[in-house]
Amino acid sequence: MMYGITGTPGTGKSSVGTELSCRGYQVIHLVDTIQPYIIEQDRERGTAVVDEERWAKEFIPIDGFVEGHLAHYLPCDLIIVLRCRPDVLEARLRSRGYAWPKIRENAESEAMDLILSQTAVRFGDGRIHEIDTTHITIQDVTDQVERVITGADPLVYGTLDWSEYLEYYV
Ligand SMILES: Nc1ncnc2c1ncn2[C@@H]1O[C@H](COP(=O)(O)OP(=O)(O)O)[C@@H](O)[C@H]1O
Ligand SMILES: [Mg+2]
């Protein structure tokens, strides 16, 4: 089974991926696989433009976890969307040294459920689980991931509403 972990930058994907690999799972940090698919650098936004469709098509599925903000482009058996309330996400990205335009863009995406919507388009049949990481530790998030993949917890998504933060970040 291939499990995807996606979410806005700062929601904790890589931290949870590292914890999962400590617990014995195979984990691929997708950022390590995109280099050959970079089309150009977007200097204004400070990001690389990736040929996402070709990258996804050529990705060989694994038995384990794939983590990264493009994980929902891959044919995962189950996709987990990590979430974080926009003001707390802002604090996490600040402590990572992100500049305001980047913080604003990510907090806005999170407030408007952008990654969840993209995921729902691709995984419309309920293979989605959402975890609100705002007030829980990386260990707790990882525990939840394990409970979901073993079927101990039901799949739930679409219960968060952070639209009140939109006016601040848009
Ligand atoms: N559940 C959490 N509680 C507190 N801080 C967290 C949590 N998850 C991640 N962080 C912190 O937020 C920052 C971004 O985490 P990271 O795992 O790199 O996110 P992502 O891979 O989604 O961009 C790091 O400084 C990390 O320690
Ligand atoms: Mg990461």
Residue 25: what residue type? Y
Name the nearest CA neighbour of 70 among 62, 59, 46: 59
Give the model's pLDDT for residue 13: 98
Residue 13 Cβ inside 6 Å of ligand 1? The answer reads yes
Q: Is the pLDDT of residue 144 over 80?
A: yes
Q: Is the pLDDT of residue 126 over 90?
A: no
Q: How many C-beta neighbours within 10 Å does residue 4 have?
A: 27
Give the model's pLDDT for residue 43: 84
What average pLDDT does range 53-58 have in this prediction? 96
Ligand nearest to the CA of 135: 1
Residue 10 Cβ inside 6 Å of ligand 1? The answer reads yes
- pLDDT tens for 23-39 read 999 999 999 999 999 99
Residue 17 Cβ inside 6 Å of ligand 1? The answer reads no
Assign 3-class secondary structure to the chain.
CEEEEEECCCCCHHHHHHHHHHCCCCEEEHHHHCHHHEEEEECCCCEEEECHHHHHHHCCCCCEEEECCCHHHCCCCEEEEEECCHHHHHHHHHHCCCCHHHHHHHHHHHHCCHHHHHHHHHCCCCCEEEEECCCCCHHHHHHHHHHHHCCCCCCCCCCCCCHHHHHHHC
Domain limits, the chain: 2-84+115-160
Contact present, 164 and 113 (Cβ < 8 Å): no
Q: Which CATH class is domain 2-84+115-160?
A: alpha beta
The pLDDT-based confidence of 47 (bands split at 50, 70, 90) is confident
The pLDDT-based confidence of 124 (bands split at 50, 70, 90) is confident
- pLDDT tens for 58-80 read 999 999 999 999 999 999 999 99
Count Cα neighbours of 9 within 13 Å in the Cβ-side half-sphere.
16
- pLDDT tens for 76-119 read 999 999 999 999 999 999 999 999 999 999 999 999 999 999 99
Query: Has this prediction a pTM greater than 0.75?
Result: yes
**What is the gyration radius of the CA atoms in the chain, in angstroms?**
15
